Amino acid sequence: MSRLKVGVIFGGACEEHPVSVKSACEVAKNLDPDKYEPLWIGITSGGEWRLCDSPVAGWEYRSRPVTLSPDRSVHGLLVKGQDGYETLRLDLVLPVLHGKLGEDGAIQGLLELSGIPYVGCDIQGSAVCMDKALAYIVARSAGIATPNFRVVTENEKVDPGLLRYPVFVKPARSGSSFGVSKVTRADELASALNAARQYDSKILIEEAVAGSEVGCAVLGELFGLIVGEVDRVDLSHGFFRIHQEDSPETGSENSTFIVPADISDESRQLIQEAAKTIYRALGCKGLARVDTFLTEDGRVVLNEVNTMPGMTSYSRYPRMMAAGLPLSEVLDRLISMTLHGRKR
């Protein structure tokens, strides 16, 4: 039986480029070579698309220019050569892209135009989850608690005296913790807004939730949802921002992950059920990591949803799934479900 041609897109022209490359390297270790023929499509920080042999260091310099064609008759790639372009048909795309242009519906829109099946959320689900304000509104309609928040537009002035501190100031449509600040005093607000505006013109100011930061991995299958172990982020100080650290592979500067979380069975089940509700309400498909807070009085409060969570050696999603499913099996199921779902 011939192997499936899987286009793995990684990198990206956004702040999460390095994390995406690390995720792709981990995917490379776990894709079954007997089942899949991966075609590695790297997007440089400057936005150039390159076809390379693998996502290891230096891939940008050992590659060829490539374009994902929106023409459905191509159903794949246009690879530039000396005598023009050759076509490479793809059976499926795995977009291992994080943050802007990867989790916000942009790449999903291009793949919809191309007619190529792809792993993960569709355009609508990606866009809603990426916009934290929209995600909060939808989650509330499904009965899920969220932090109290306000949206600040591009040129809007904010009176710092009207806020109850501490608050978090964050880009509304950005991944990870880039541009996020914890503000404890009124005189810190202006610099926090400036930091967030480097990443988005739409800013969120939200109350700090007192509680433990916990997460739940969700894997969508044709006949239901699978949830992984709940984890807890144990912080020594500050707030969780591992992807901005110099060497997270050797340990975080201020956080460790406790998997399974050291919480009661009742709380664990409550978080898992809340994660399923959030996943369904926001229109997720394939996979997602649902980050929440567990308050002292036992409430689950939504933090954010990652529709293409990190797959690095230190990432939370693979660790939470590992108790029941290794990453190789997760990838198998995602690919199988994507192809089967498209045929239905």
Burial of 338 from C-beta contacts in 10 A (0-12 / 13-18 / 19+): buried
CA 196 to chain centre: 19
Q: Does the annotation mark 19 as catalytic?
A: yes
Burial of 8 from C-beta contacts in 10 A (0-12 / 13-18 / 19+): buried
List, by residue range, all CATH 3.30.470.20 domains of the chain.
Answer: 127-145+210-343
Q: Which of 17, 50, 232, 243 is catalytic?
A: 243
Q: Does the annotation mark 249 as catalytic?
A: yes
For residue 67, list its beta bridge partners.
78
CATH of domain 127-145+210-343: 3.30.470.20
Q: Which of 7, 12, 15, 22 is catalytic?
A: 22
Q: Which of 132, 173, 276, 289 is catalytic?
A: 289
Q: Which of 136, 279, 314, 317 is catalytic?
A: 314
Q: Does the annotation mark 199 as catalytic?
A: no
Contact present, 229 and 323 (Cβ < 8 Å) = yes
pLDDT confidence of residue 324:
83
Question: Is the alpha carbon torsion for 150, 155, 157, 158 positive or negative?
Answer: positive
Which distant-in-sequence residues (6+ apart) come within 8 Å of 231 by Cβ? Answer: 214, 215, 216, 257, 258, 259, 260, 261, 316, 319, 320
Q: Does the annotation mark 76 as catalytic?
A: no
* 10-residue mean pLDDT series, the chain (344 residues): 93 94 97 97 97 95 95 96 90 97 97 98 97 98 97 93 95 87 96 95 96 96 92 73 54 75 97 98 97 96 96 93 92 94 52
List, by residue range, all CATH 3.30.1490.20 domains of the chain.
Answer: 149-207
pLDDT confidence of residue 175:
75
Q: Which of 19, 169, 227, 233 is catalytic?
A: 19
Q: Does the annotation mark 98 as catalytic?
A: yes
CA 61 to chain centre: 27
Task: Tell the residue number behind the tokens 């479900």, with chain if given.
Answer: 337
Q: Does the annotation mark 64 as catalytic?
A: no
List, by residue range, all CATH 3.40.50.20 domains of the chain.
Answer: 4-118
Task: Tell the residue number behind the tokens 């690095």, with chain if given.
Answer: 312
CATH of domain 4-118: 3.40.50.20
Q: Which of 249, 296, 343, 344 is catalytic?
A: 249
Contact present, 193 and 171 (Cβ < 8 Å) = no
Q: Does the annotation mark 289 as catalytic?
A: yes
Q: Which of 6, 180, 310, 316 is catalytic?
A: 310
Phi then psi for residue 120, to 5 deg, are 105, -170
pLDDT confidence of residue 240:
54
Q: Does the annotation mark 310 as catalytic?
A: yes
Q: Which of 50, 98, 170, 285 is catalytic?
A: 98
According to CATH, the topology of domain 149-207 is: Dna Ligase; domain 1 (3.30.1490)
pLDDT confidence of residue 174:
86
pLDDT confidence of residue 344:
36
